[in-house]
Copies of this chain bind each other. A is one copy, B any other.
Amino acid sequence: MSESVGIVKTEYVTFDTELQLESGRLLGPITLAYETYGQLNPERSNAILVCHAWTGDAHAAGRHSSEDRKPGWWEDMIGPGKVLDTERYFVISSNVIGSCKGSTGPASINPRTGRPYRLRFPVLMVRDMVHAQKLLIDHLGLSTLLTVIGGSMGAMQAIEWGIHYPQMTRSIVPIAGTARTSPMAIALNAVARRAIYNDPMWKKGNYKHEHPPSDGLALARAIGHISFLSDASMHLKFSRRYAVKDGLFDFFGQFEVERYLEYNGYNFPSRFDTNSFLYLAKALDLYDTAWNFDSLEEALGRLRCPSLWFAFTSDWLYPPNQTEEAVACLEKLGNPVEYHLIDSDYGHDSFLVEPEKFTPILGAFLKRVTASRNSVDP
């Protein structure tokens, strides 16, 4: 029977380096937060890198203490006997730079000034996040990754790993991803951004830690939340029910869906830094696999490994046709590629909500990659 990895601890490592970013700017030193689950085998060949989405963190599985009410964000996926089986694989989950969950981001101290970066933090691309993760993988003494897997922004990182470190990356599994963010997704981030800018507490990023722009960030989160759900999942969860205590003809009366979005929105500012939210939104908007290549073909042509792609029928943020664009390109290139469109009502969030719909396929893929690892060129 599958169980949890149990009590885990977030580790931190600081690299005294200056990372050259896509923007041309330098960032350093760089701290990364990460967690690992399972054991590295003697051949050092069983490492899997798990990449998180926008507001995720390194804590993908287990609990930080026995009192922890919630496990890590991909608890259903990672553990003994689970698809990312910690009795077989050494699983690494790394928080991205730009985040506020232990890695260097806009809330970190700028060594040049001794004060938080805030808006002096450089604009990042997903590619920069991956270059920083490479420092961690080197630090862990790994020369190959059996797979790099992630959903949403995690899918983007998986693609970037395959393209930029083809010698190290033995497979990639982008889930609910896109080869380039669409104008619709950018537009949704744009209004989320504006919600924050409109909050007088934002002060162009110079808010006090104790007084974040909660109204703006809660609204931004609610806008994002809508895009992660679907018409069908909202019907299942809320239908048109009206909040019990509210009168239907009260001006400020709320439908349940409205109350839910507000409640969840206002939970968010206590656990996420507003400037980080904005920098990561920007990185999402800028994401384009073909960035600095002549074309998507040229970029994906650098892949040297098999790839497994999942998209979800009800995902309207990064809809299936965006994954299919990348898959079609790889097929044209003759690259070993496998694609599954998963029928799910849970929208973009399906990769978190219904992993059981794709874990059998993923498990079989990982076994094939493991078995073939000696036949792949070094």
Please list the residues of chain A having a beta carbon within 8 angstroms of any beta carbon in chain B. 22-25, 119, 122-123, 180-184, 186-188, 190-191, 193-195, 198-200, 215-216, 219, 222-223, 226, 229-231, 234-235, 237-240, 248-251, 254-255, 257-258, 261-262, 278, 282, 285-286, 288, 316, 319
With a cutoff of 8 Å between Cβ atoms, the chain B residues found around residue A251 in the complex are 119, 123, 278, 282
Chain B: CB-nearest residue to A200: B200
B194 near A235 with CB under 8 A, answer no
Chain B: CB-nearest residue to A181: B240
CA separation between A50 and B282, bound complex, in Å?
43
Chain B: CB-nearest residue to A319: B231
CA separation between A182 and B236, bound complex, in Å?
11
> Which 6 pairs show the lowest CB-CB distances between chains A and B?
A183-B234, A190-B258, A23-B249, A183-B257, A123-B249, A184-B231
- Expressed in whole angstroms, the minimum distance between the Cβ of A285 and any Cβ of chain B is 7
Known: A183-B238, A184-B234, A231-B184. A222 touches B255 (CB 8 A): no
A234 near B187 with CB under 8 A, answer yes
Q: Within the complex, which residue of B190, B222, B240 is in contact with A186, where a contact is CB–CB below 8 Å?
A: B240
CA separation between A123 and B246, bound complex, in Å?
13
With a cutoff of 8 Å between Cβ atoms, the chain B residues found around residue A239 in the complex are 183
Known: A255-B190, A286-B248. A198 touches B184 (CB 8 A): no
Given A191-B261, A251-B278, 12 more pairs with CB closer than 8 A: A22-B249, A182-B231, A183-B235, A183-B238, A184-B229, A186-B258, A191-B219, A193-B258, A195-B219, A198-B215, A231-B319, A251-B282
CA separation between A255 and B25, bound complex, in Å?
21
A188 near B257 with CB under 8 A, answer no
Residue among A186, A230, A319 with max Cβ neighbours from chain B (10 Å): A186
B186 near A250 with CB under 8 A, answer no
With a cutoff of 8 Å between Cβ atoms, the chain B residues found around residue A215 in the complex are 198
CA separation between A94 and B334, bound complex, in Å?
61
B257 near A226 with CB under 8 A, answer no
- Expressed in whole angstroms, the minimum distance between the Cβ of A237 and any Cβ of chain B is 8
CA separation between A167 and B251, bound complex, in Å?
34
With a cutoff of 8 Å between Cβ atoms, the chain B residues found around residue A258 in the complex are 186-187, 190, 193
- Expressed in whole angstroms, the minimum distance between the Cβ of A19 and any Cβ of chain B is 15
CA separation between A37 and B319, bound complex, in Å?
44
CA separation between A219 and B186, bound complex, in Å?
15
B288 near A226 with CB under 8 A, answer no
Chain B: CB-nearest residue to A123: B249
- Expressed in whole angstroms, the minimum distance between the Cβ of A31 and any Cβ of chain B is 22
CA separation between A181 and B231, bound complex, in Å?
11
Chain B: CB-nearest residue to A291: B248
CA separation between A161 and B186, bound complex, in Å?
39
With a cutoff of 8 Å between Cβ atoms, the chain B residues found around residue A229 in the complex are 184, 187
CA separation between A74 and B240, bound complex, in Å?
32
5 contacts between A and B (CB under 8 A): A187-B261, A191-B223, A194-B262, A195-B219, A240-B288
Chain B: CB-nearest residue to A213: B198
A222 near B194 with CB under 8 A, answer yes
